[in-house]
Structure 1
Amino acid sequence: MYRKRQKMSVANIGATILAAFVGAIVVPMPMQSQQVTINPENRAVRDEADRLLDVGYTQLKDGKTREAIKTWLYAIGYYRRVNDQAAISYTLARVSDAYELLGASNAAQDTSRQRIGYANTLQDNGAKLESSNNLVSFEIAQGKLESASKLNKATLELSTKNEQGLNTAIALNNKGLIAERYGNHLEALKQYYASIKVHPIREAIGEGYTYINSGDSLMALDNYKAAITDYGMALTIARQHRNYKLMSVASDRIIAAYLEVPNFYRIEELLQNRSSLALVMGDQETAAIVQRYLGDLYLSFGNLPKARAAYQESYDFAAMLGDNTSLPLREAYYKLQELERL
């Protein structure tokens, strides 16, 4: 098949190099003039593409992210043979998410741009908005606030016009993040709360992270009590949905806020819960660090028996890491030694 040669941008080159490391296939951008009708011939090709899509999901679930990317890109190759551009667009979204998990932001961005190309051809505003929101998030993280603001403005207008609740909520959250990066925390709060208002119920975890963002802006404004309220909302959502990642983020934030108030008895409870959560997540290092903080808290109360017990647990958790030179282990050891001299 004849393919038109195109000059590659620096971003495309970077994505292609990374793709080579995972054995990926470069997916060409569609032209507006392309036909979007699916070729019904050769059902076996379509079946193989669907099988590879499922295999990729299994690989990702098993922690084999690079293998999942490779598998999905091969699936895209099969979908191209039957010209199923909707399936290509869907699979590109999975590839972009997987690249993001690997920390390969350039490749994730390039894949999102490819998906926007297919979304334009298919006139699929949902896919276009989803990928556009992802691109805005990447640019915010990279400090490219001017370009992020420009793209986010267009994305917010389109999502509002098309009554896309989730994409509107994400775009408003991104607008808040941009304002926050510029130091305008009052404007950021306005956008965060607007995002929460339109957030679909089925996407509660995203709402939880928006409460984390609003809490951060409130902390920057020294409004610690209001920050505790918003972090508490995020923690409640996380517990309702048993989302350990959000639970840990919200717990860390709310502990920091209570240190500013302060409420040491509430901090004690939160530190105990945070240590238990870390163990449930298999994160002995964090559990060791939290127990050391708990020991420091008890020591400030003058409760030496509780401080000793907390430091000992910190040492035991750190010892589970199997590294006798680890910082958590050494810090717990020194704390126990200092306690013996009191």
Structure 2
Amino acid sequence: MKSSCLPVVMRLLAMASFGVAILFISTAALSQVFLPGTEPVELEEQLNIPLNNGIQEEGREEADLLLRLGGQAQRQGSFEKAIAYWQQALDLYQRLGDFEGQGLAYDYLGLTYANLGRYPQAEDALRRRLGVARYLKDFQGQIFALNNLGTLLLQAGNLEAAQVSFAEALDIARTVKNPEGEGLSLSNLGLVAAQAGNYLEAVKRYEASLAFRRRLGDPLGEANTRNNLGDAYQALNQHQDALTSYGLALHVAEDSLDIPNQFRALRGLIRSYSVVGPKLVALKYLKQHLALAQKEQNPREELISLRLYAELYKAGGDLSNARIFYERAILLANSLGQTQEEAFLRNDLAQILYDRGSR
């Protein structure tokens, strides 16, 4: 496999958004969206791998084809089938002694295992991917492998190990003067600080990351980091700063057609305007959030919209409208099989009915 393919693929793999409702999504931050409730990463852009791209050994074309078949299966939701294809490709690459092909296979396996919640297997694959990058002295591959691994460790709550992984990635990025890797690593170090409750440090890291992401013209990474920055400001009760950050994130995400970061930014704006007012502005952004969810045919985001409507009306004392939206949210949660969410919603609705009956 030509080495020129690796930087593109690794850049795509090392991108995602971290926040409230994303998992392995934004191609500007795989290493930043690895929490529960998120959507699986799409490999469509990552799989534009030319067949028979340089090495002529027997079996090379078959391995490349298996890699692509795995991507097709993944896009169709057949994750176990995808894993089987990629494992076969990996075996062939190993027989051929093709380390770059092995690195790609380990990447895809690691990300898919993570999406399935099979974290020990995901960690093993990502560590092996890092080992391949080190063997090849592929510094960019090391940077993004370390960020992916750190994201997995952060997901598991291992903040100390995640910090070490991201810090090593940052050191390498600075040594080889890789601004993209530096921006990504700084943003991920901000996530570690935020998860540790050190929001002031998180703000510093995010702001440092933004300098790189804006300079590089990376709208997906910029929108993701601006959303992270908004979350940190919200945690500090600096809602005006949060509104500014979320507003910029929304603008960048809309311009780049980045739907996941649009949802994140809208939720952030709704939360902060619900606190500082005016409530009518919160309702305006909530209407936009619901319309986007319906346009994108995303029932999970639609459920979030309905719940936020109910909570906003409840907080304002409008229990009649709150009841309407709780009932709509319960029906949708039931249809989605979200039993825990349905139970929470029913409990909130019961409280409203009790409050109305006691008046």
Whether the TM-score (by the shorter chain) exceeds 0.5 is yes
1:225 is matched with which residue? 240
Partner Cα separation in structure 2 for residue 39 and residue 241 of structure 1? 36
1:244 aligns with 2:256: no
Q: Does the 8 Å CA contact 1:291/1:311 hold for their aligned counterparts?
A: no
Q: Is the radius of gyration larger for structure 1 or structure 2?
A: 1
- Partner residue, 1:260: 275
Cα root mean square deviation, aligned: 3.0
1:94-243 matches, within 5 Å, as: 94-199=108-213, 201=216, 203-243=218-258
Structure 1: runs of 5 or more not aligned: 1-37
Q: Distance in 1 between matches of 2:349 and 2:275?
A: 25
Structure 1, residues 41-76: CA drift from partner, whole Å, max 9, x if none? 32xx11111111111111111122222122111111
Structure 2: distance between partners of 1:136 and 1:41: 35
Question: Separation in 1 of the partners of 2:293 and 2:103?
Answer: 37
Corresponding letter in the other structure for 1:293 = E
1:147/1:41 CA distance change after superposition, 3 Å: closer
Amino acid at match of 1:281: N
How far is the alpha carbon of 1:187 from its aligned partner? 2.3
Q: CA deviation at 1:117?
A: 1.2
Change (3 A) 1:260 1:291: closer
| 2:327 paired residue number | 315
Matches within 5 A, 1:285-300: 285-293=303-311, 295-296=313-314, 300=317
Question: What do the CA deviations read for 1:289-316 (whole angstroms, capped 9, x no partner)?
Answer: 234235436x64x6x9xx55x7546535
Contact 2:307–2:325 (8 Å) recurs in 1: no
Letter in 1 for 2:288: N
Instruction: Say if 1:316 and 1:186 are closer, same or farther in 2 by CA, change over 3 A.
Output: closer
Q: Does 1:281 align with 2:308?
A: no
User: 2:114·2:152 contact (CA, 8 Å) conserved in 1?
Assistant: no
Whose RCO is larger (CA < 8 A, sep 6+)?
2
1:41 aligns with 2:57: yes
Quickly say closer, same or farther: Cα 1:317–1:133, change in 2 above 3 A: closer
Partner letter of residue 88 of structure 1? Q
Q: Using the alignment, how far apart are the partners of 1:193 and 1:182 within structure 2?
A: 18
SS at 2:117 equivalent: coil
TM-score by length of 1: 0.75
SS of residue matched to 2:299: coil
Identity of aligned residues (%): 26
Call closer, same or farther: CA 1:147–1:311 in 2, change over 3 Å: closer
The answer to whether the Cα contact below 8 Å between 2:249 and 2:261 also exists between their aligned partners in 1 is yes
> 1:113: Cα distance to partner?
0.8
Q: TM-score, normalised by structure 2?
A: 0.72
Residues 105/238 of structure 1: CA separation in 2 closer, same or farther (3 Å cut)? farther
Give CA deviations for 1:161-194 in whole Å, capped at 9, x if unaligned.
2122221111111222233344432222111111
Distance 2:327 2:254 in 1: 28
Aligned length: 297
Please name the residue that 2:85 is paired with.
71
Letter in 1 for 2:303: E
* 3-state SS in 2 of match to 1:199: helix
Q: CA deviation at 1:195?
A: 0.5
